[in-house]
Structure formats: C-alpha cells, structure tokens
Structure 1
Amino acid sequence: MDDLLQIYERLQSRITFDEFKEKVQEKIDLMGGLCDEKTASKLVAHDLGILDLIKIDEISRDQKNVSFMGKVTQLNETHEFSRDDGSIGRVANIIVSDETGSIRVVLWDELADLVKVNEISVGKMLNIRGYVKNGYVGIEVNVGREGCLEFTETEVDIKTKTYSISDITSGMSGINIIGKVLSIGEIRGFSRKDGTEGLVSNITIGDETGRIRVVLWDDHAKEKFAPEDVIEITNGYSRENYGRTEIQLDRYGKIEKISKEVIYCDHITKIADIGINEPYNVIGIVTEVGDKREFTKGNGSAGKVANIRISDDTDGIQVVLWGDNADLVDQINIGTQIKIIDGYAKSGWNDRIELNVDWRSEISTKDL
C-alpha cells in the first residue's frame, strides 16, 4: 500500500484515490495477474501522462520529455512579449532543485501567470513534466500547454552542489563554484538589439583542478575584485566560446568575495601529450622565430600574427601568436624559455597540431 500511495501522490490533482485503486485493479486483471500492484500503479500513472520521475542530474539534452520533482529555489518576474500573430505571450523562469542539482524551468503563458500572482514561490514543491531544450543558458525544461505542473507536499533534501573547475562542461546551468581570481579583464559597453546598453567584463579563476574564464554581465561587470581574491559564484551557466568553455553570470546569478583558501597551480602539459581542440599550458624552449605579419580582419580592422616553434624534452610544436602577442617575436631569441597559459591546440598546416595564443592566453618568457 505504501508504494501505491507514493505513486498516487503524483496523481492526486487528477483522480481520487478510490478511482486510482479501481484503475490499478483493472490493469492487474487486464494483465491476467502477470503484474503486481506496484507495476500496475506505474502503468496507470503512465496512462495518465505521468512519466517516471528522474533526478535533475539525469536530465540531458538528448532527452525529449522528462518528469521530475523539485523545490523552487529561485524565480524571476514574468515578462510579456508579442508573438508573430499579434497575440501577447507570457514567460517566467524559475530554478528548481533537488538533492542532485538545479535546473532552469521555463514556464509559458498561464503557468507563467502563477509566478506573477505568487502561487509559485520560493520553497514550493512541484511535480514537473516538460520538454528538454538546449537554451541560451544551457539545458532547460520548458513547460507549456503540452506539459504539466502540479504542487506536491512531498519534500526533497536540497543539497547545493559546488563544482570543481574540471567538472564544468558546455551547456550546464545552476553552476555553483569557488575559485581564486587569477586575472581581471576590462569593463566594456555594448548595445543590445533592443537599443538598450549593457556592460560586460571577465575574470579568470582557478582551483586545484584547473582554470576557467568567467564572463560577468551588466551589474556583475562592475564588481570589484583583485588577483588572489577568492570568490563564490552561484547559479552560473556555461557556454562554449571559440572552443573554450566559459562560465557566464547574468542577473539571475550571484558572485561574492569569501574568506576561504583555494590552492591553484598551473598544470603543465608535455608537448607530446597535446591533443586537438583543447586548451593547454606548456613550457618550452624557442627553436625557431618567424616574421611578424599584418593583415586586415573581416571587420576591416588591422591584425597581427607571427609564428614560432618551441620544444621540450618530448617533442616540438608550432605556436601561432595573434594580436599583441605577435610582438613577442621582437623580444625573444632562439633558446628563450617560454611559458604559455591557456593556448588552444588546433589542426594547422598539413593537419599538424599547432598551439594558438590569442587574447585569452597568457605568455611569459625567461632567458636561459
């Protein structure tokens, strides 16, 4: 009976318990007694459109429809928009969490109205059925007319997961992470398509597993940090930008300085171990220095590029220096030791791997 009650909790807004038990018995009879009460109750739930509940960390982009339970841990105001047919739509984003993680849930129209009138609020427990989509901030679940959202009294134990940098892959949302500030970029202004102005900046953070760039939008771009500060990021999301995974932090996320020790050291890769389409940190000796060349970019601005070759005790590799990094050829000689942080390995001339050093990379030299 306990199993029956547990499954019925997900159906109580649609059917009475007596009706549910009657349908379960009908299913047992239909199966000729070949299934037990628990199996029959699951079949009834499926017939009524309730999929098997999964945990949030089991939701992936290759799934279509999912059903899960979680607690509302964050919500944002409902926004209106105009559809192509002239009608007005409504949309609201909420963050739902369970003991395995968090995910953004997008509510449309009548369901978005529940946020506006405060029927959906932080702390509410929900059963959710919707379709998985790779949204702007990573994987999200959309709930519209074909989906379902129900309130439930069942509680889940929310445990906020803090990721290590090596855990971060493109398409994640609900990222909580702690890292040491390694470098800080400039604040830049930009114009959005709707005519409004925005701000963006970036910092690079590291922990004992690696380093990653964090893009800060609007008010977060004005946050004041210094190298060696330890910061905590809550509810970020990750995207791939020119082959590198970055953490993005918009108005739905949070960043703050904390008092905690974080150990970071550069992980150096031997040249012979460099693969393709990955960022690497390397140390090598300059064995060839090419000429610096200027060119015109697609947007009409001027660019610079230069090639050098470096070697370590395992192999050698061509290094392509872009932008201001190309000026390095005026300062180095054969035999100079060079350290490259966050160079990106790509397929180059004759399909040979080359290491690209651009504005996201760091480079330093030492005369031996």
Structure 2
Amino acid sequence: MIRIPLNDIVAKIKDKTGLSEPDILAKVDQKCAQLAGLVSKDGAAHIIANELGVKLIEHGGRQKIKDVFAGMRSVELVGKVTQIYEAKDFARADGTAGKVGSFTMGDETGTLRVVCWGDQTNVLRDLQLNAVALVSNAMVRDNNRGYKEIHLNDQSRVVVNPKGETVGDVKVQERPQATRKTVKELNEQDQNVEVVGTITDSFNPKFFEVCPQCNKSAKNSTCAQHGAVQPNYSCVFNVILDDGTENIRVVFFRNQMERLLSKSTDELMQYRTAPDTFEQVRSDLLGQMVKVVGKVNRNMFFDRLELVSQLVFPANVEEELARVA
C-alpha cells in the first residue's frame, strides 16, 4: 500500500486546484465528520483529492524525489550524490553475514537516502560526491523516523554518470519554521510546533528491541521484514513539560533523548542494565527549561495529547523573557 502523508496530499491539492491550505483542511474535516469517524484524515484527504480530480500518484516512468512515497515499487530516479556512507557488515540471528551501506542523492525537488543491501553495496565504491546516479527498479520505504528511503534489491540497478543525464542544483531540505504555541493551544493538527516550558517530572526510559538492518521494531528478536535477528536496542523517554498554561507529556526517542541529556548512544544503553543509575539524571532534569519542536499525537490508550520531540534545545531564558516583556 502506498502511503502519502497528509501534508503532501494537501500540498498537491493546493498546487493543482489553487485552493488554500485552510480551505483544504476544512474539507478534510468535513469529510471526516460526514463519514462519522470511519476514515482517517489521510483517507479523507485522498477522497477530497479524488473528488477534485487531483491525481496523487503518477505511475510509470521516471519520478522526481518529491513524488515518491512509501510503498511504491519499480521506481526510477536520477539525482546527484550528496553523501556516501561506507558499507558495514552485520550478523543475522542465524549466524549468516550481511552487509548494508547507503548514500544520499538529490534533485531540484529534494533529497533522500538510498539503502544498499548485500552485493548492491559494491556500487558505493564507484560513487563520488556530485556524481549523477540513475537508480532503477527500486522500492520506497519509510524508515523508523518516518522519512522515505529508496531500498535496492537484487533486481535494482545503479548507473553512475549515465550518458546524457544531468542534474541541476539540488534542493536543500530546510525544515519549515515551527509555529510557537502554548501547551494550552496545542491540538492534534499541530505537525510542526514549538513549545517552551520547564521539566517538572520525568520517567524511567523504556528499552525495546530493534532490527540491526532496518532499525524497526524486532519484538521477541523477530523483525516483520527480516525475520529472526540478533536485535539491537533503542529507547524512549518521557517528561512532563509545563509552560504555565498547562502541562503535557513529551516523548523523546533515542536520538532526541541523546540531545536532551547530552549523552551518547552507548551511555544511554548502560541504563538498560543499570536502571538505578538513571535516578540522578531524572533529578538533574527537574526545573530545566527547554524548547521542543515536534508534532502532537493523541495517545489513544490514555486519551491524551502528547508532544513527540523532533528537535530539542536548552531554552534561552533572556530571549523568552523578552518575548513576554
């Protein structure tokens, strides 16, 4: 199934019809209400696009990077190599050896990572920065952070500097400016919001198994994609953030937990086997003022809003005082 994020659907409808983003989102909300909760916002947006005659997916032929989405197969792209990551060996749970490497490529619409498995990692030896790469017969997946990636299989091909192919300036992926809000103002539609507050409580981190190949969940040492594996571990950490209007639980996955605590992955993993040593970390966090940029989710189990951190910084107290002066 091809998964197109709501923001991309809205952007395409806006581009093709000239409707404003608020008008499109209003139509999505109306469709959700009309169908009495039987469809998600993404699904409602698909219906709106269809009703307006907007084609979301162009099948066949070469694609631009902005037009590929998780679930697409037999994809062909051409782009300029912007980064190269060396191949690494790993051991599968059955004892056999594997290899994985990657590179990033971009065109005038964006950039993405290309993941190479097994013998496909040999192409990394032929790549150079700014070389043109033609990738064909590949598939698109979302990684564990929600970003799309190209994955190569045995049928995929990568041609370096193909004759007659050129790529202009690569579009630098810039994060849109987050909207500053108070905790009280947050709602489920906030996908890029900035909140400043004080940490008033925190909880012990939870560690979970992940696949060493794709970094997705590997509960009971089993990955849905790669089968039985010798898992690595990742973690999630929650704090309570209070800004004076209300408080909210903020969720930090491993990368953001590292930023918040200024600790390495290896240092975090030590708390998995020695959880009592984390008490001092929790104590040190109390009263710290931080700025969190992220998206709002509803925790369906507890029926509450939560802020999932995508970036976290120490708050500049003087700047914050100046904002309210």
Which bracket does the TM-score occupy, shorter chain normalised?
Answer: 0.3 to 0.5
TM-score normalised by the chain length of structure 2: 0.43
Comparing both chains, which one has the higher relative contact order based on Cα–Cα distances under 8 Å and sequence gaps of 6 or more?
2
Larger helix fraction of residues = 2
Q: Which has the larger radius of gyration?
A: 1
TM-score normalised by the chain length of structure 1: 0.39
Larger strand fraction of residues = 1
